[in-house]
């Protein structure tokens, strides 16, 4: 799998290049101790700036923040280094450093203010997803009709939303055909824990990938409850998903008794620790989480937007404890009686990045209308 560069690794590399540039620009007329001083200043400045960018622009994704950090630091540094050399050739070293610092900090502050202004009222930049879990519904021809309806109406929702449909295994191939040429992605509702072999009735991750699936739902409460799926099984299914380049949509959520006993935080924490904590950083970067309170699935009872936000923020905190800043980029979907009338309010919450939709995904109009919860 291709290794991703983290924001801090990128910032370090940039600092290194900056130091080299500083050496080249100042080498002729600086004593060795000044060069060392510059190097320390640049590395420390880069690290401090990198930290500030990570802390102050939470709405940007890690990638966007790293890009912003590099551009702003690069511009400040170039301005600070080049302008005094060009316009103040005769000034003493101390004055030159003061001038360089002043110019660098001024440019940095201006870029930061402009960025702040541009992004102040924008939603966060995490991937927005609306995924339809069709469960054991539709015959193949009905599934194809439904998929065609979704394709036909997709333009009514914002381009920013990533729609996914997850039909039953039996019509994945036909639905894949109906989705061809559209931006709607295909997912499966489950996969086997083994790669292949004598497992009657099972469907391997490689098989669904071969049919065009990009996603697979794992750990849905119905699978945990009716088919006894445990964390041990789910760990193996996750491995199979990643081995076949499928993005897992990993479901967590508490049942009614657990919610009433105030154990919902603990329940989702364990569901994450026992499975998601076993992922590598690269695998984690390719994961979607769905929080689905079991008491809200198919019952018509929805968690309030505040309840959803509270637990989504908590889930992100649990993810951050293991994966650090990368947790800010993991899409966390809400699922449980989500419908056109409540989607906008739930999706407006900071840590809700879309929905995993059951019943309402069986009507193309409703499914797209839920996507419009992010604006048309």
Q: Which is nearer to ligand PEP, 167 or 359 (CB)?
A: 359
Q: Segment contacting ligand PEP (CB under 6 A): 64-72, 97-105, 168-176, 351-359?
A: 351-359
Residues touching ligand PEP: how many (CB under 6 A)? Answer: 13
State which residue, 58 or 298, has the beta carbon closest to ligand PEP: 298
User: Is-catalytic flag, 220?
Assistant: yes
Rounded to a whole number of angstroms, the minimum distance from the CB of residue 282 to ligand PEP is 27
Residue pair 370/333 in contact by the 8 Å Cβ criterion: no
With binding defined as CB under 6 A, does residue 373 bind ligand PEP?
no
DSSP bridge pairs for 215: 187, 247
Binding mask 124-163 for ligand PEP (x = CB under 6 A): ---------x------------------------------
Q: Is residue 312 among the annotated active site residues?
A: no
Q: Does 357 bind ligand PEP (CB under 6 A)?
A: yes
Q: Are 337 and 296 in contact (CB under 8 A)?
A: yes
- When binding is defined by CB under 6 A, the residue of 248, 253, 358, 373 that contacts ligand PEP is 358
CB atoms within 10 A of CB 23: 14
What are the distances in angstroms from CA 124 to CA 7, 250, 252, 296? 17, 22, 23, 26
Tell whether residue 301 is a contact of ligand PEP (CB under 6 A).
Answer: no
Rounded to a whole number, what is the largest CA-CA distance in the chain? 83
Q: Is 298 in the site for ligand PEP (CB under 6 A)?
A: yes
Q: For residue 337, state whether it binds ligand PEP (rule: CB under 6 A).
A: yes
Scan residues 235-294 and list those touching ligand PEP (CB under 6 A).
292
Regarding 359 and contact with ligand PEP (CB under 6 A), the answer is: yes
For residues 357 and 132, give the distance between their C-alpha atoms in angstroms, rounded to a whole number. 5
Smallest separation (angstroms) from ligand PEP to the CB of 281: 28
Q: How far is the CB of 352 from ligand PEP (least distance, A)?
A: 13
DSSP code at position 154: G
Q: Is 335 in the site for ligand PEP (CB under 6 A)?
A: yes
Active-site option among 220, 222, 254, 312: 220
Q: Is 69 in the site for ligand PEP (CB under 6 A)?
A: no
CA separation for the pair 290, 346 (Å, rounded)? 14
Pick the catalytic residue from 171, 292, 312, 329. Answer: 292
Rounded to a whole number of angstroms, the minimum distance from the CB of residue 186 to ligand PEP is 17
3-state helix, strand, coil split of the chain in percent (to 5) is 60, 10, 30
Query: Which active-site residues does the annotation give?
Result: 220, 292
Q: Which residues bind ligand PEP (CB under 6 A)?
A: 133, 292, 297-298, 335-338, 356-360
């Amino acid at each position: 799998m291709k290794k991703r560069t983290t924001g801090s690794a990128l910032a370090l590399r940039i600092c290194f290049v900056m130091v080299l540039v500083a050496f080249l620009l100042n080498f002729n007329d600086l004593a060795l101790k000044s060069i060392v001083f510059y190097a320390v200043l640049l590395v420390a400045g880069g690290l401090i700036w990198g930290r500030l960018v990570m802390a102050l622009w939470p709405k940007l994704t890690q990638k966007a923040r790293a890009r912003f950090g590099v551009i702003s630091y690069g511009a400040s540094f170039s301005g600070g280094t080049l302008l005094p050399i060009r316009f103040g050739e005769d000034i003493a070293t101390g004055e030159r450093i003061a001038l360089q610092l002043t110019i660098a900090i001024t440019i940095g502050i201006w870029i930061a203010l402009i960025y702040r202004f541009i992004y102040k009222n924008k939603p966060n930049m995490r991937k927005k997803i609306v995924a339809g879990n069709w469960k054991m519904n539709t015959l193949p021809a009905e599934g194809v009709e439904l998929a065609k309806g979704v394709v036909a109406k997709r333009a009514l929702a914002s381009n920013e939303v990533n729609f996914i449909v997850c039909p039953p295994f039996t019509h994945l191939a036909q639905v894949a055909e109906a989705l061809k040429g559209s931006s709607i992605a295909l997912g499966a509702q489950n996969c086997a824990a083994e790669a292949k072999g004598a497992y009657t009735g099972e469907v391997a991750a490689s098989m669904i990938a071969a049919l065009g699936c990009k996603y697979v739902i794992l750990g849905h409460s119905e699978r945990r409850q009716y088919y006894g799926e445990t964390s041990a099984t789910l760990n193996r299914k996750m491995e199979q998903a990643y081995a076949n380049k499928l993005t897992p949509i990993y479901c967590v959520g508490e049942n009614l008794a657990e919610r009433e006993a105030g154990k919902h935080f603990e329940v989702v924490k364990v569901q994450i620790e026992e499975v998601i904590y076993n992922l590598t950083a690269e695998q984690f970067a390719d994961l979607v989480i769905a929080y689905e309170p079991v008491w809200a699935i198919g019952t018509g009872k929805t968690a309030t937007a505040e309840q959803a936000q509270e637990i989504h923020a908590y889930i992100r905190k649990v993810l951050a404890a293991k994966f650090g800043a990368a947790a800010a980029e993991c899409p966390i979907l809400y699922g449980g009686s989500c419908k056109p009338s409540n989607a906008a309010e739930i999706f407006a919450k900071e840590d809700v990045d879309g929905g995993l939709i059951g019943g309402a995904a069986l009507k193309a109009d409703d499914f797209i209308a839920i996507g419009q919860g992010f604006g048309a």
